[in-house]
């Protein structure tokens, strides 16, 4: 999918095309939310591991 072509005059020329473009936007919003949750989980886990590793270092 090319986001630069999502809402061009050609991509929304008919009601069906407009509906398809809006469905694509909805799907992108879902994927964005899933990515944010995954990234937050990853960062939290990485920080916990980094903290644990730093605590094991000698001063």
6-55 pLDDT, tens digit per residue, is 778 888 889 999 999 899 899 999 999 999 999 999 999 999 999 999 99
Verdict on whether the full-model pTM lies above 0.75: no
The predicted structure's pLDDT at residue 14 = 93
- Write the CA distances from 33 to 1, 6, 12, 26, 40, integer angstroms: 18, 19, 25, 11, 11
Q: How confident is the model at residue 1 (pLDDT cuts 50, 70, 90)?
A: low
């Amino acid at each position: 999918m090319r986001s630069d072509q999502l809402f061009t005059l050609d991509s929304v020329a008919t009601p069906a095309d407009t509906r398809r473009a809006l469905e694509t936007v909805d799907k992108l919003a879902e994927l964005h939310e899933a990515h944010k949750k995954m990234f937050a989980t990853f960062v939290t886990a990485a920080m916990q591991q980094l903290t644990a590793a730093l605590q094991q270092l000698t001063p």
